[in-house]
Amino acid sequence: MISIIGSGRVGASIAFLCVLNALDDVLLLNRTKDKAIGESLDIASAIPNTSKFSIWGTDDYSKLTGSSIVIITASTGVYLKDRTENMDLQVNMIKTIAEKIKQYCPNAIILLISNPLDVLTYFFQKESGLDRFKVIGIASSLDTSRFRYFISKKFNITNSTISNALVLGEHGDSLVPIFSNVTVNGTTLLSMMNNADRDSMIFDIQNYWKKLRIYKGRSQFGIAKNAYDVINTIINSKELLIPASVVLEGEYGENNLAMGVPVKINRHGISEIQKININDFESTQLKNSSNKIRNDINSIQI
Ligand SMILES: NC(=O)c1ccc[n+]([C@@H]2O[C@H](COP(=O)([O-])OP(=O)(O)OC[C@H]3O[C@@H](n4cnc5c(N)ncnc54)[C@H](OP(=O)(O)O)[C@@H]3O)[C@@H](O)[C@H]2O)c1
């Protein structure tokens, strides 16, 4: 069973993708029960004819029992200028959810989507006590999709010609696109750009969501697709190499925080954190990013 906590825009979009692809039974759990029931009734009409699939909605956490994957998209409110607005409220919320998951489905793999992503991934793992490799914050893969989008736009090329593009660090203004390993049709990206081009692309990736916010409010479909890819990997025993947020224990020189790093995912969750080479400029940026996350974590009144 795939359980989705939070039946707002993102939760409903992930449920829709799972149902369309007949991945598994889906449970929508929402603070306001009617919304979960309404979304599940609507999405149920999209079940493929060949599927025995079921989807239903609830506000009852005990229904999480038996979940193999839980995706957390709950949000207490809309942030306006920064993903860390409402941080205290979101941390309190994630701690309550962690308690419920520990009680009802302690063996599930958890995908965190709610913001501030890295801070919540950290507090969820600490509060639940679950294996850190079973608690996966999904966001850096979305930032990577945006990085790839800007590369393909700048050089008027298809996405498939781009290799090794990754965004690491915070899912926030300090995110770090890793240019040094990227190739386009076998040519290194940095040989095709000067520093001003690079900095302008970094700015564009970091500010993508602010532009989106002006027109739409919040992102929805890109994150849903990225979350769906991970769910599909786990349910169908595939392998996926993406950047994702995970609590670090010495990897990349960091402890006591979660941030986006390259990970291998299989049916058990994260199987490995990969060490990749990055240049000095990127290392400095990544340190700034981890410091930003650490300051946010330390600012929470426990
Ligand atoms: N990781 C990423 O890259 C990424 C991308 C996009 C969005 N996000 C984040 O994803 C989250 C969801 O975004 P959204 O646009 O879907 O928000 P949304 O439409 O406001 O939906 C949030 C839902 O969470 C529910 N909720 C609140 N507290 C809950 C609780 N304790 N238990 C169960 N449900 C609860 C709300 O219920 P009510 O019906 O009672 O209000 C609401 O339906 C936000 O934190 C957003 O910042 C992350």
Q: What is the pLDDT of residue 146?
A: 97
Dihedral sign computed on CA atoms, order 240, 10, 131, 251? positive
User: Which of 4, 73, 87, 95 is the pocket-test mutation for ligand 1 (most atoms within 8 Å of CB)?
Assistant: 73
197 CA distance to ligand 1 middle (Å): 35
What are the residue boundaries of the structural domains of the chain, listed by start? 2-137
Collect all residues with Cβ–Cβ distance below 8 Å to 70 and sequence separation of at least 6. Answer: 3, 4, 5, 64, 101, 105, 108, 109, 110, 111
Residue 91 Cβ < 6 Å to ligand 1: no
* Burial environment of residue 62 by CB neighbours within 10 A (0 to 12, 13 to 18, 19 or more): exposed
Dihedral sign computed on CA atoms, order 273, 278, 281, 282? negative
Nearest-atom index, ligand 1, CA of 59: 33
Residue nearest to atom 47 of ligand 1 (CA): 115
Task: Please give the CATH number for the structural domain made up of 2-137.
Answer: 3.40.50.720
Nearest-atom index, ligand 1, CA of 77: 20
Report the DSSP pairing between strands 109-112 and 255-266. unpaired
Residue 32 Cβ < 6 Å to ligand 1: yes
User: Residue 231 and residue 229: Cα distance in Å, rounded?
Assistant: 6
Phi, psi angles (nearest 5°) of residue 124? -60, -45
Question: What SS3 state is found at 170?
Answer: coil
83 CA distance to ligand 1 middle (Å): 12
Residue 115 Cβ < 6 Å to ligand 1: yes
Amino acid at 176: V
Residue 9 Cβ < 6 Å to ligand 1: yes
User: Residue 200 and residue 195: Cα distance in Å, rounded?
Assistant: 8
With beta carbons less than 8 A apart as the criterion, state whether 258 and 121 touch: yes
Residue 114 Cβ < 6 Å to ligand 1: yes
Residue 8 Cβ < 6 Å to ligand 1: yes
User: Residue 9 and residue 221: Cα distance in Å, rounded?
Assistant: 9
Collect all residues with Cβ–Cβ distance below 8 Å to 77 and sequence separation of at least 6. Answer: 86, 89
Q: What is the pLDDT along the chain (302 residues), one digit of tens a residue?
A: 999 999 999 999 999 999 999 887 999 999 999 999 999 999 999 988 888 879 999 999 999 999 999 999 999 987 777 777 789 999 999 999 999 999 999 999 999 999 999 999 999 999 999 999 999 999 999 999 999 999 999 999 999 999 999 999 999 999 999 999 999 999 999 999 999 999 999 999 999 988 898 899 889 999 999 999 999 999 999 999 999 999 999 999 999 999 999 999 999 999 999 999 999 999 999 999 999 999 999 999 76
Residue 64 Cβ < 6 Å to ligand 1: no
Nearest-atom index, ligand 1, CA of 83: 47
Residue 75 Cβ < 6 Å to ligand 1: yes
pTM exceeding the 0.85 threshold for the entire prediction? yes
With beta carbons less than 8 A apart as the criterion, state whether 175 and 293 touch: no
Dihedral sign computed on CA atoms, order 199, 241, 154, 181? positive
Q: What is the pLDDT of residue 218?
A: 85
User: Which of 10, 144, 205 is the pocket-test mutation for ligand 1 (most atoms within 8 Å of CB)?
Assistant: 10
User: Residue 301 and residue 80: Cα distance in Å, rounded?
Assistant: 22
Nearest-atom index, ligand 1, CA of 226: 3
Residue nearest to atom 3 of ligand 1 (CA): 139
Residue 5 belongs to what H/E stretch? Answer: strand 2-5
Q: Is the peptide bond preceding residue 106 cis, with omega within 30 degrees of 0?
A: no
5 CA distance to ligand 1 middle (Å): 8
